């Protein structure tokens, strides 16, 4: 199945029409899984559709939600994605809103307001901003960034962009996502401030460090207690001793036990 979630950069194979891409994008917010980080990509699907916000809202209310909103009430709801053939057939045959779709749309009102704001912003921007917004949106939902498996992919993107551009995108994401952070495990304002402060430190360090590219490879040193059988250790033993600077730099501030990385380095690598 070709679906928007199958790509991380916001680019889609040209197998569906822009309207069908929008149907898929909107439908994915009714899956039984975390979907808030997909909002920037959904907003871009709206831009690609050439619809106004009023048109997108009507599509959501009268075509998409009546078909897929009941999934959120199903004890074994679909979380992987709706089959496109089924989705398109059901949408084309849809007769309009239902009491269930109206109720669920109302409960998700902050979600759609965030989508509206991102759509308005991207309507006057370009697709080049989409990966940046998507990365920041994903991180906005994480209390501790060390748990984000795509963290270093995002960090490379941030370091490759002008810092002023990253800051502007971060301000937008912070404003848009703050009303959505209502779950117990969502980051607090203090978490967000701590993470953003760390990102500033990391990017400032990485832009001037010849060893920043090695940080991703050193991540495992902070996460495992016994590295005696770890294949990566043999690689590091042949690397320059200056790699220790990565462990002592801002990377160490990311993990709950920063000393673990240094201990692992000293025990298994630097001898």
Proportion of the chain above pLDDT 90, given as a percent: 63
- What average pLDDT score do residues 170-186 get? 95
Residues 23, 59 contacting (CB under 8 angstroms): yes
Measured torsion, CA atoms of residues 162, 168, 174, 176, in degrees rounded to the nearest 10 = -130
Nearest to 45, CA basis, from 69, 65, 20? 20
Q: Report CA 148 to chain centroid distance, whole Å.
A: 9
pLDDT tens digits for range 207-226 = 888 878 778 778 778 877 77
With bands split at pLDDT 50, 70 and 90, how would you rate the model's confidence at 107? very high
Tokens of 53: 């916000």
Proportion of the chain above pLDDT 70, given as a percent: 94
Sequence-ordered list of residues with C-beta below 8 angstroms from that of 63, at least 6 positions apart, any chain: 23, 91, 94
Q: In 3-state terms, what secondary structure has residue 34?
A: coil
Residue 176's Cβ-side half-sphere holds a number of Cα atoms within 13 Å equal to 30
pLDDT tens digits for range 8-54 = 334 444 457 999 999 999 999 999 999 999 999 999 999 999 999 99
Between the CA of residue 163 and those of 32, 143, 159, what are the distances in Å? 36, 23, 8
Give helix then strand counts, H and E, for the chain: 15, 0
The pTM of this model reads 0.85
- What average pLDDT score do residues 66-72 get? 97
Residues 210, 165 contacting (CB under 8 angstroms): no
pLDDT top residue among 97 and 201: 97
Between the CA of residue 268 and those of 221, 229, 245, 247, what are the distances in Å? 10, 10, 16, 14
3-state class percentages of the chain: helix first, strand second, coil last, to nearest 5: 70, 0, 30
With bands split at pLDDT 50, 70 and 90, how would you rate the model's confidence at 58? very high
């Amino acid at each position: 199945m070709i679906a928007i979630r199958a790509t991380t950069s916001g680019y889609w194979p040209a197998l569906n029409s822009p309207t069908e891409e929008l149907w898929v994008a909107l439908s994915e917010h009714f899956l039984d899984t975390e979907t808030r980080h997909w909002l920037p990509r959904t907003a871009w699907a709206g831009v690609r559709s050439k619809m106004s916000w009023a048109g997108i809202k009507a599509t959501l209310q009268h075509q998409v939600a009546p078909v897929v909103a009941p999934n959120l009430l199903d004890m074994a709801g679909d979380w992987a994605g709706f089959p496109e053939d089924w989705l398109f057939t059901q949408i084309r045959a849809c007769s309009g809103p239902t009491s269930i779709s109206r109720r669920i749309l109302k409960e998700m009102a902050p979600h759609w307001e965030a989508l509206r704001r991102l759509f308005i912003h991207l309507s006057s921007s370009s697709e080049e901003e989409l990966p940046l917004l998507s990365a920041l949106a994903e991180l906005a939902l994480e209390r501790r960034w060390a748990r984000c498996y795509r963290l270093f992919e995002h960090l490379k993107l941030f370091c490759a962009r002008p810092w002023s551009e990253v800051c502007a995108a971060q301000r937008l994401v912070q404003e848009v996502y703050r009303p959505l952070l209502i779950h117990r495990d969502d980051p607090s304002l203090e978490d967000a401030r701590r993470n953003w402060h760390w990102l500033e430190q990391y990017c400032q360090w990485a832009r001037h460090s010849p060893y920043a590219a090695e940080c991703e490879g050193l991540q495992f040193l902070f996460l495992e207690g016994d590295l005696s059988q770890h294949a990566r250790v043999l690689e590091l033993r042949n690397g320059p001793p200056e790699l220790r600077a990565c462990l002592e730099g801002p990377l160490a501030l990311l993990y709950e036990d920063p000393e673990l990385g240094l201990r692992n380095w000293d025990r298994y690598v630097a001898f």
